[in-house]
């Protein structure tokens, strides 16, 4: 209780942190996922401009602490954690509230996504590991809420379905099991339709959030060469590539401009991601299309389409350099190649164990390892590996080693 009160006091005594993301959500910009944009707009309408950001922070911290409490209680229930182990997990879960990205104080989608993510793991334990199949409906709603707020989690329902199929593989044709599998696999499709429908109502265009390729193009652009535009078939795409390349070339923000190790090349990309992406090809593309007479919303959509073409074209011409920097990006997210190998080996080991016999600890180790690995791989495709995209799985730093240690003969016998 003392840790919760201290966290609550720390958050509420600090001012809301407002950034460019906060403004774009507030105005329901077409490039933003609808979940948090609608959340902010509703609170603005209810509480007014002078109060709503403080209400947002209050909701962030209360929702976050509640989700953490329920999650740790569930872990303690199924794994019988000691007091010290419980405190260790709790401290890791509270860590993002005290350091960057200051999840509760930052007026951005992470403040809602973090507790949603923990709630999803809690209900996944109930549905998958404790066979409380009737709770799949609430789990599906949580998954839809999460994926419609941050696209990086689109793989989560697929992972849950995979673990569920492994556990129920001898019974998956029965109605309760089939219901769980179908609902989980439907989540990405339902979210996609809701995302497009929201944009049709608000902006007049039935399209998904145009904010995927405008981020993912940054690394291909970083490793690109001056003449890569020649194989682009669309003249607008060629122009967008040329002025984007010219700008980052003038700033020495190209892979070819960095003499040194892969790590040094990656850090040039990592530290200058906004200059390569947001302040360059993204806004440059939007301005380009608006100058041609397109509306702002149309310009965002067409820039997304241009970035998709440029991304795959640049990867095709510079595949080796792209894979090298991408790999370094993934490893940077883990902070060490040894930590990355630990999760990879753990996932493979637990998969073999689960195939032989599904047990609670090995099943959860596999589930958590896949969440960690998939998130790292997706983040490295979409942007640079920073803490605000990776904090969701910090609890695994303690829980996976703990469960592995418990499987040692001495601990199993005791």
Alpha-carbon span 160 to 185, nearest angstrom: 9
Contact predicate 205/297, CB 8 Å = yes
Structure tokens at 34: 């609808």
Alpha-carbon span 153 to 379, nearest angstrom: 10
For residue 39, how far is the Cα from the chain centroid? Answer: 19
**How far, CA to CA in Å, does 115 sit from each of 60, 73, 145, 347, 352?**
8, 14, 11, 25, 31
* Burial of 231 (C-beta count, 10 Å sphere; 0-12/13-18/19+): exposed
The predicted pLDDT at position 400 comes to: 94
End-to-end CA distance of the chain: 31
Alpha-carbon span 362 to 350, nearest angstrom: 5
Alpha-carbon span 129 to 118, nearest angstrom: 16
The predicted pLDDT at position 206 comes to: 95
Is the peptide bond prior to 101 cis by the omega test (within 30 degrees of 0)?
Answer: yes
- Report the predicted TM-score, pTM, of the whole model to 2 decimal places: 0.94
Flag residues of the chain having pLDDT under 50.
Answer: none
User: What are the residues whose beta carbons fall under 8 Å from the beta carbon of 36, sequence distance 6 or more?
Assistant: 25, 108, 109, 112, 149
The predicted pLDDT at position 411 comes to: 59
- Residue tagged 């998939």 (tokens): 374
The predicted pLDDT at position 260 comes to: 86
The predicted pLDDT at position 347 comes to: 96
Q: Which helix (H) or strand (E) holds 334?
A: helix 319-334
């Amino acid at each position: 209780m003392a840790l919760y009160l201290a966290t609550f006091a720390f958050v509420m005594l600090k001012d809301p942190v407002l950034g460019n993301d906060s403004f774009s959500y507030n105005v329901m910009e077409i490039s933003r996922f609808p979940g948090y944009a609608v959340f902010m707009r509703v609170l603005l309408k209810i509480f007014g401009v002078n109060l709503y950001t403080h209400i947002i922070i209050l909701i962030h911290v209360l929702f976050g602490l509640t989700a953490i409490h329920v999650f740790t209680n569930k872990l303690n229930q199924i794994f019988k954690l000691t007091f010290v182990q419980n405190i260790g997990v709790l401290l890791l879960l509270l860590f993002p509230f005290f350091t960057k990205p200051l999840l509760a104080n930052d007026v951005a989608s992470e403040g809602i996504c973090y507790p949603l993510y923990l709630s999803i793991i809690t209900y996944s334990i109930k549905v998958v590991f404790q066979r409380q199949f009737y709770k799949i409906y609430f789990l599906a709603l949580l998954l839809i809420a999460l994926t419609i707020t941050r696209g990086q989690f689109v793989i989560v329902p697929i992972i849950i379905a995979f673990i569920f199929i492994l556990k129920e593989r001898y019974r998956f044709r029965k109605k309760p099991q089939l219901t769980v599998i179908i609902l989980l696999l439907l989540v990405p499709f339902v979210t996609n339709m809701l995302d497009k429908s929201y944009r049709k109502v608000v902006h007049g265009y039935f399209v998904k959030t145009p904010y995927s390729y405008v981020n993912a193009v940054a690394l291909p652009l970083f490793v690109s060469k001056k003449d890569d535009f020649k194989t682009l078939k669309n003249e607008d795409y060629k122009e967008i590539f040329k002025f984007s390349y010219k700008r980052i070339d003038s700033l020495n923000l190209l892979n070819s401009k960095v003499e040194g190790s892969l790590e040094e090349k990656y850090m040039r990309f990592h530290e200058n991601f906004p200059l390569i992406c947001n302040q360059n090809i993204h806004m440059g593309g939007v301005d380009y299309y608006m100058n041609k007479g397109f509306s702002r919303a149309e310009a965002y959509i067409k820039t997304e389409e241009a970035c998709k073409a440029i991304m795959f074209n640049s990867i095709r011409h510079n595949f080796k350099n792209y894979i090298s920097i991408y790999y370094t990006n993934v490893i940077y997210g883990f902070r060490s190649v040894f930590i990355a190998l630990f999760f990879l080996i753990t996932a493979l080991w637990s998969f073999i164990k689960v195939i032989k016999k599904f047990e609670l600890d090995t099943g959860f180790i596999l589930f958590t390892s896949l969440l960690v690995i998939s998130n790292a791989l997706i983040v490295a495709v979409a942007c640079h590996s920073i803490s605000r995209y990776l904090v969701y799985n910090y609890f695994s730093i303690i829980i996976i080693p703990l469960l592995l240690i418990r499987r040692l003969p001495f601990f199993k016998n005791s």
